[in-house]
Amino acid sequence: MDASIKNDIATFISHTHILNHPLIKTLHHVAFVTSPEAELFAIRCGINQALSKENISKIIVFTDSIYVAKKIFDPLSHSLQIHAVAILNELQQYFSRDSNNSIEFLECPSHLNWHLHKIVNLETKASNLMPVYPCKMS
């Protein structure tokens, strides 16, 4: 998953794979959010998609924003609490189904050029949306 902000519009893309096979790709656009909010929402959507599939016992989240992923477990991060609470609620249900279920967050910086991250990164940066209400731009 990755997020990019241009012209006050955040684009984030999440690719979900099962056993290295593409399963779901989601693309979202939202206006007037910060980069950490966009990144955390992308993580939230990816986790949500993974949890919607049956028989999922291990989730691995690859992100170039590991500092944002850590905010999920930081109760003092007030600006991102709405997403953190939603993610933690979903994870609580996931772990209560089976004590062997697990989730892992791995940092994958852009400079590593991992092919799957590179695809997502290029897709977010290639998106060129114009605001629906240009008169509302500050």
Say how far apart CA 85 and CA 91 lie, in whole Å. 10
**38 Cβ neighbours under 8 A, 6+ residues apart:** 3, 5, 10, 12, 30
Q: Which CATH code is given to the segment(s) 2-136? A: 3.30.420.10
Give 100-135 pLDDT, tens digit per residue.
999 998 887 767 676 666 666 666 666 555 555 555
pTM over 0.85: no
Predicted confidence at residue 32, as pLDDT, reads: 79
Give Cα 42 distance to the centre of its chain: 2
The owner of tokens 């909010």 is 37
What are 63's two structure tokens?
A: 């992100």
Give 8-53 pLDDT, tens digit per residue.
777 777 777 777 777 777 777 777 777 778 778 878 888 888 888 8
Task: Break the chain into its structural domains and give their ranges.
Answer: 2-136
Beta carbons of 64 and 108 less than 8 angstroms apart: yes
Ramachandran quadrant class, 19 (left: phi over 0; alpha: psi -120 to 50; beta: rest): left
